[in-house]
Amino acid sequence: MKRLLLVIATLLSLTVLLAACKKSDDTSSAATNPGSTPAQVEATPAPTELPPYEANVLTGEPKGADYPENTRITAVMVNNLVAARPQRGLSKADILFEIKVEGGITRFMPLYTDYKNLGEIGPVRSGRDQFFRLILPWQALYVHEGQSVVMQQYAIDYDYGKLNNNDGCNGQRDYGRVNWAGKSYNNGTLALEHTMYVNRNGKTIEKYVEDNNVDMNRTYNSTFFNFVDYRLGTTRDLSNSLDSAYSDKYGPVVSDGQYIEIVHSQSYKTRFIYDESTNQYKMQQNYSDGQWRDTVDEAADNQVLTFPNVIVLYTDIHVYPGHEAKDLQYAEYAWGGVGYYCYGGKCEKIYWQKGTPLEALRLYYLNEDGTCSDTPLEINTGKSYVAVTDVDFAENFVHSSLDGVDLSSATTVTYERSYVEDDAKAGETLGSSTDDLTAAATGSGEAETATEAPAQETTANETPAQEEAPVEEAPAEEAPAEETPVENTEAPAEENNVG
């Protein structure tokens, strides 16, 4: 079934074309009878001239007075093991990615428009290529602590250099931090991996940039998504969208989305609850006791994470061939696939594409027959949560009204399958290119199901781990350029190497 879905996705991806506008050459004229009074024709008012489009690259909102002009996006890898919660710094993110990694767990990658004055972020964890490939077209600063050998090979192949920071920007440990369950490293109940933070004592990202002469200048020629043009003062109502009258064999393309539940693996789940009064979705995750809890930012007085935009993208995710012992996960981005865009208590089925590592992520409306259209999807302005999720769990996706949903009920208990953490050593390579590895990984995975029996939980009795040495960096490359409200179908424009 999984392979069939992927073959269908491949065929659908071939339907995407560049959108074109056809202008009409028709003209009209009015005939008058002799002696009759000509009809009064009102002059067509001149179109209102819009000011220049000056939008935040990650949210599509108008730039404020303190917007960091010509600055690279910054991405940080954040631990999402249950023991690592609550995290710090997530509420300041403009886009938050969540993707499955090894052991059935997920990690976060918050994106920020500015690398300055961010405050503490973490716990910071090691880099993974399924995240890196999403920011590679944008040439973002990528901050993490350690990296898989596949990630290290990507940094080498794409000459990423100092933009690939592998020590958490000289991140520092908070040995005394207490997690949600009252555990801490100082009392011997919390592993070391849950204690590393960026900007813990001072502005360490800024210091890294300054000390290493990292070129953070970057002008982007498009926004991350195809946002509704803020200059028009409008919001796209999904109920009245151009595809709102369409249906497929599963039902209407646009339907209820006040309650959203995403299954990432046999045990990791995320859900969102819509609040009409704020037009925001509140984020929650399942825990090791089977309970749902709010996802909060410990560094912002436990502020609950909320987003106006929730985006779920389905693709094939499975183990890289030859990396089974460390369970390194491959996410298929070349084919594209089906997804959902949720806003304002409604969810809309969509199609997404990416292509090569240097191509940017793109979202599209569906045609009436369920195929991918050539019309870029419009995302409403504001912050976004984006899940890249295994197509094996697409049938477990829930979007509905809140009627009849028991928000207090228990859910799946989180657990992590056993695996050996992959931390590449300095100079370690795959012995082949990432293109070769991708070619071997494409279509090689086995299907998973959400009903698989739980494996032994590995986080219940954690003991402090030995601190691992940071991995050496590899040289650098390029990024995107100046914004327009029209979505770019290719990787944003490149500039000079950053050294």
Cα distances (Å, whole numbers) of residue 146 to 160, 274, 394: 15, 36, 31
Cα(48)–Cα(41) distance, integer angstroms: 21
Cα distances (Å, whole numbers) of residue 89 to 111, 120, 164, 198, 251: 11, 6, 20, 9, 39
Candidates 222, 229, 204; CA nearest to 362 is 222
- What is the predicted pLDDT for the residue at 238? 97
Cα(145)–Cα(83) distance, integer angstroms: 17
- What is the predicted pLDDT for the residue at 420? 61
Read off the pLDDT of residues 428-486 as tens digits, 9 standing for 90 and up: 777 888 888 888 888 665 656 554 433 333 333 333 333 333 333 333 344 444 444 44
Cα(449)–Cα(1) distance, integer angstroms: 12
Cα(275)–Cα(451) distance, integer angstroms: 31
**Which one-letter amino acid corresponds to residue 36?**
S
User: Do residues 72 and 217 lie in contact, with contact meaning Cβ atoms separated by under 8 Å?
Assistant: yes
Cα(322)–Cα(425) distance, integer angstroms: 18
- What is the predicted pLDDT for the residue at 39? 46
26 HSE (CA, 13 A, CB side): 3
Number of residues in the chain: 499
**Which one-letter amino acid corresponds to residue 289?**
D
Sign of the C-alpha dihedral computed for residues 388, 413, 191 and 182 taken in this order: positive
- Sequence-distant (6+) residues with CB within 8 A of 29 are none
What letter does residue 435 receive in the DSSP assignment? H
Cα(131)–Cα(100) distance, integer angstroms: 10
Candidates 436, 420, 354; CA nearest to 153 is 436
Cα(334)–Cα(331) distance, integer angstroms: 9
User: Do residues 352 and 13 lie in contact, with contact meaning Cβ atoms separated by under 8 Å?
Assistant: no
- What is the predicted pLDDT for the residue at 313? 98
Read off the pLDDT of residues 86-109 as tens digits, 9 standing for 90 and up: 999 999 999 999 999 999 999 999
Cα(2)–Cα(316) distance, integer angstroms: 8
pTM of the full predicted structure?
A: 0.82
User: Mean pLDDT for each 10-residue chunk of the chain (499 residues)?
Assistant: 46 37 34 42 69 97 95 98 97 98 95 95 97 98 95 96 95 96 97 95 93 97 97 96 87 95 95 98 96 97 98 96 89 95 98 96 94 95 98 96 92 73 74 84 65 38 37 40 46 45
